[in-house]
Amino acid sequence: MTKICCIVFSTLFLFTCAISAHAGDLDSFKGQKGTLKIAGGTAHIPVMKEAAKLIMQANPDLRITIAGGGSGVGIKQVGEGLIDIGNAGRKATDKEVSTYGLTMYKWAVDGVGVVVNPKNTVTKLTTAQLQDIFSGKISNWKELGGADRAINLYDRDAASGTRSVFWKKGLQKANVSTTANIVASNGAMKTAIAGDPYGIGFVSVGHIDASIAPVTLDGIAPSLENVKSGAFKVSRGLYSLTKGEAQGLAKLFIDFIFSPTGQDLVKAKGFVAVQ
Amino acid sequence: MAMGSGLLLIAILCMMAVLGWPLVENGRFFALFSTTWSPHAQAYGILPMILGSLRITVLALLFSLPMSIGTACLAELLAPRPLRRLLLVTIRFMAGVPTVVYGFVAVFLLVPLMREYLIFGSGFSILTASLVLAVLIAPTMIIFFVNGLQSVPRSYCHAVDSLGARPMQKLIYLLLPQAYPSLLIGVILGLGRAMGDTLISLMLAGNSVALPESVAESGRTLTAHIALVIAADFSSMEFTTIFACGLILSLFTVCLIVSIRLLDRFGTRGAQHREMSTESRP
């Protein structure tokens, strides 16, 4: 996985960057050398990639690798010292923080929106309907005014931060049917829903684009504005974690995410900036 | 070397047993063989995954075996000479295609096909995964089958040819029985590869934890289960259960291979008896 990311990454590296850096934000990386390993939450990847690209363009002596794996993986690997920064789309539990001595940095707010295929005519749902869909009580799109086809549920694995927020705040801890298909990342969810006209799933708002259609939940669309204003309730912080206080390159990287340039990246990728 | 790798296998099995030991201590080991996987409700049944693994493997082998034997016979004997070369080159190329490529292509081509025309679910199903898996394991099997057919002594072939046997007769009465050990090894390797493959089932089988009622439904294999659960909290019970999954997966593979070997031993002994009895009849 890491290898694939590296390849994707070096390809991206060749393209000119879309976002220009504010003066001075990249200065702290001058003269630095070494490797920075980042892994974990898949919602974070677009911002991480762009930030790493800017940094590595400014200083070619640095190597930054970014892998997915999910929030659980991010927390575990940073705790065990396998990586420098672990990303998580949920707060680390008290137990995780105390076991590993982790420090959390919240650098963006993200919504988790229900999505369907753009061909689907059902674009509005209530929480009760959503609960019935995911528990399997409503199993045909016809019951919601759509085509006469079975609803294909797509769920994430239990270690997903996106899932834990969706389950807590979107489904209000209702049961999820065991027959749901399970995909391994936000990207995989997008691919699955974009390819399945009868599918329903959930992704980080930052991942919503033209290939999938957001569903209005209780009259409120999962848009950046609504997440920002607090009207859309299914939201969470995006965190980066380090073992102990961030030091060296990891600290510089996290400081960069909090800098004006970093926060511009956050906004450009469809999240709500914290500063 | 062989002993070293054997010891390594035993060491790995021991390690999994030790790391999975908390399950036995908590008396949860037998609860593993229940049908509900729901970590929130403290239920850690992996029976659906065991059945998922078995179904996908057996189905893939069922699809792949006739295809592989047929292709091997074509490539070795039945096809015109230029076509034989082409077939062999294609098969060797197929053996080198990375698994993820098959998975990716299938997500975009086979899954919509299954969804619209065949099974009407989401298209992610045990059947979809086993079809792709069949293609994945075929080259391994074909290469062994072809080697087996080639290793039949020339003198036998000449004898059969001089008796005026047609290619088909030669195949059925000489080549296939003589190449039997290679066929068996091909099947064992194919089986091992199908059982151990993670990516195809992770990408195509749907990964639902419900006990699948038919092969047209979404299901999860042990390997995909390990890949999905490995991200869980290190000290949690779910994490402990994946060592049990690993152990069961290895034991299943060992059992399958041993049983095929045993079948083979009894089979050849029977054949020898028959040969001897025909020889002793003057």
> Chain A partners of B108 at a C-beta cutoff of 8 Å?
195
Measured between alpha carbons, how far is A175 from B127 in angstroms, rounded to an integer?
A: 27
Contacts of A190 (CB under 8 A, 6+ apart): A115, A203, A207, A209, A211, A212
Whether residue A191 and residue B107 make contact (CB cut-off 8 A), yes or no, is yes
Burial of B229 (0-12, 13-18, 19+ CB in 10 A): buried
Is A198 within 8 Å of chain B by CB?
yes
Q: Is A181 touching B (CB cutoff 8 A)?
A: yes
With an 8 Å Cβ cutoff, are B123 and A191 in contact?
no
pLDDT of residue B133: 94
* Residue B246 pLDDT greater than 80, yes or no: yes
The mean pLDDT of B97-102, rounded to a whole number, is 91
Q: What is the pLDDT of residue B1?
A: 72
- In terms of pLDDT, which residue wins out, A20 or B18? B18
User: How far is Cα A270 from Cα A207, in angstroms, rounded to an integer?
Assistant: 8
Q: Which of B117, B204, B228 should we substitute to test contact with A (largest number of A Cβ atoms within 10 Å)? A: B228
pLDDT number for residue B234: 63
- Which of chain A's residues have a Cβ under 8 Å away from the Cβ of B109? none
Q: What contacts A155, CB < 8 A, 6 or more positions away?
A: A134, A163, A176, A180, A181, A182, A183, A201
Q: What is the pLDDT of residue B141?
A: 92
Bridge partners (DSSP) of residue A116 are A200, A213
The partner residue sitting opposite A69, judged by closest CB among B207, B217, B231, is B231
For residue B231, give the amino acid letter: A
Superfamily of chain region A2-110+237-273: Periplasmic binding protein-like II (3.40.190.10)
Find chain B residues with C-beta within 8 A of A86's C-beta: none
pLDDT reported for residue B42? 75
Most A CBs within 10 A among B110, B209, B233, B239, hence the mutation to make, goes to B233
Q: How confident is the model at residue A253 (pLDDT cuts 50, 70, 90)?
A: very high
Ordered by start, the domain boundaries in chain B are 15-280
CATH architecture of A111-229: 3-Layer(aba) Sandwich (3.40)
pLDDT band at B232 (very low <50, low <70, confident <90, very high): low
Long-range CB contacts for residues A13-20, cutoff 8 Å, separation at least 24: A13/A53, A13/A56, A13/A57, A17/A50, A17/A53, A17/A54, A17/A57, A18/A268, A19/A50, A19/A54, A19/A261, A19/A264, A19/A265, A19/A268
* Tens of pLDDT, residues A7-59: 444 444 444 344 566 767 788 888 888 889 999 888 888 899 999 999 998 88
- Percentage of residues in chain A with pLDDT exceeding 90? 22
> Is B232 touching A (CB cutoff 8 A)?
yes
Contact A179 B202 (CB under 8 A): no
pLDDT mean over A149-163: 86
> B237-280 vs B180-196: helix axis angle to the nearest 10?
170
pLDDT mean over A97-124? 90
* Type of residue found at B264: D
ipTM for the complex? 0.73
Cross-strand pairs, A125: A217
Instruction: Give me the percent of chain A exceeding a pLDDT of 70.
Output: 92
Residue A218 structure tokens:
């209780």
Interface contact flag, A72 B232, Cβ < 8 Å? yes
What pairing do the DSSP bridges indicate for beta strands A85-88 and A34-40?
parallel
Taking the complete model, does pTM exceed 0.90, yes or no? Answer: no
CB contact under 8 A, B210 and A177: yes
In one-letter notation, the amino acid at residue B267 is G
Looking at the complex, does the CB of residue A70 fall below 8 Å from at least one CB of chain B?
A: yes
Q: Are A223 and A110 in contact (CB under 8 A)?
A: no
Test the B interface: residue of A90, A117, A157 with most B CBs within 10 Å:
A157
pLDDT at residue B277 above 50?
no
Contact of B253 with chain A, judged by CB distance below 8 Å, is answered with no
Does any CB of chain A come closer than 8 Å to the CB of residue B84?
A: no
Q: What is the mean pLDDT of chain B?
A: 83
Helix H or strand E segment including A240: strand A235-243
Reading the block at residue A149, the tokens are 């086809």
Q: For chain A, give every domain's residue range.
A: 2-110+237-273, 111-229
* Confidence at residue A99, expressed as pLDDT on a 0 to 100 scale: 87
Mean pLDDT of A180-194: 88
* Partner A contacted by B125 (CB < 8 A): no
What's the per-residue H, E or C state across chain B?
CHHHHHHHHHHHHHHHHHHCHHHHHCCCCHHHHCCCEEHHHCEECCHHHHHHHHHHHHHHHHHHHHHHHHHHHHHHHHCCHHHHHHHHHHHHHHHCCCHHHHHHHHHHCHHHHHHHHHCCCCCCCHHHHHHHHHHHHHHHHHHHHHHHHHCCCHHHHHHHHHCCCCHHHHHHHHHHHHCHHHHHHHHHHHHHHHHHCCHHHHHHCECCCCCCCCCCCCECCHHHHHHHHCCCCCCCHHHHHHHHHHHHHHHHHHHHHHHHHHHHHHHHHHHHHHHHHHHHCC
> Which pLDDT value is given to residue A29?
84
Which residue's entry shows tokens 């999962």?
A222
Q: Which amino acid is at B169?
A: Q
User: Average pLDDT of chain A?
Assistant: 85
Interchain CB contact of B216 with A (< 8 Å): no
- Among B38, B39, B207, select the one facing A182 at the smallest CB separation: B207
Predicted pLDDT of residue A23: 64
CA distances in angstroms from A122 to A133, A136, A142, A224, listed in the order given? 13, 17, 10, 21
Q: Residues of B with CB below 8 A from A72's CB? A: 231-233
Q: Which pLDDT value is given to residue B90? A: 92
B281, pLDDT greater than 60: no
Q: Residue type at B159?
A: A
pLDDT band of A117, cuts 50, 70, 90: very high
A196 and B206 within 8 Å at the Cβ level: the answer is no
Alpha carbon of B92: minimum distance to chain A alpha carbons (Å): 25
What band does B268 get if pLDDT is binned at 50, 70 and 90?
A: low
Question: Contact at 8 Å (CB) between A215 and A116?
Answer: yes
Nearest one of B192, B202, B194, B273 to B231, comparing CA atoms: B202
Q: From chain A, pick out residues whose CB is under 8 angstroms from the CB of B235.
A: 95, 99
Residue B134 has what pLDDT? 95
Q: How far apart are CA A124 and CA A144, in angstroms?
A: 9
Cα(A200)–Cα(A162) distance, integer angstroms: 15
Which tokens hold the place of B217? 């439904």
State whether CATH 1.10.3720.10 applies to domain B15-280: yes
Residue B56 CB-density burial (10 A; 0-12 exposed, 13-18 middle, 19+ buried): buried
Q: What is the pLDDT of residue B16?
A: 83
Name which residue leads in pLDDT, B269 or A264: A264
Q: What is the pLDDT of residue A20?
A: 61
Strand partners, A203: A113
Best CA proximity match to B75, nearest among B137, B131, B138:
B138
For range B211-229, the mean pLDDT: 85
Question: What's the CA gap between A35 and B127, in Å, rounded?
Answer: 44
Residue among A79, A181, A198 whose CB faces B124 most closely: A181
Q: Which of B50-64, B75-89, B253-267 is predicted least confidently?
A: B253-267
- Dump pLDDT digits (tens) for A66-104: 988 888 888 888 998 889 999 998 888 888 888 888 999
Asked whether A233 and A169 are in contact (CB, 8 A), the reply is yes
Q: What is the pLDDT of residue B233?
A: 64
Nearest residue, CB atoms, A178 vs list B120, B208, B235 = B208
> What pLDDT was estimated at residue A19?
56
A contacts of B121 (beta carbons < 8 Å): 150, 152
CB contact under 8 A, A178 and B115: no
A76/B231 Cβ within 8 A: yes
Please state the rounded mean pLDDT for residues B100-112. Answer: 89
CA distance B20 to B44: 13
Q: Do A195 and B233 count as a contact with CB atoms less than 8 A apart?
A: no
Q: Picking from A214-223, B17-26, B50-59, B157-166, which range would have the lowest pLDDT averaged per residue?
A: B17-26
Q: Shortest Cα distance from A263 to chain B (angstroms)?
A: 29
Given an 8 Å threshold on Cβ–Cβ distance, is B121 in contact with A183? no
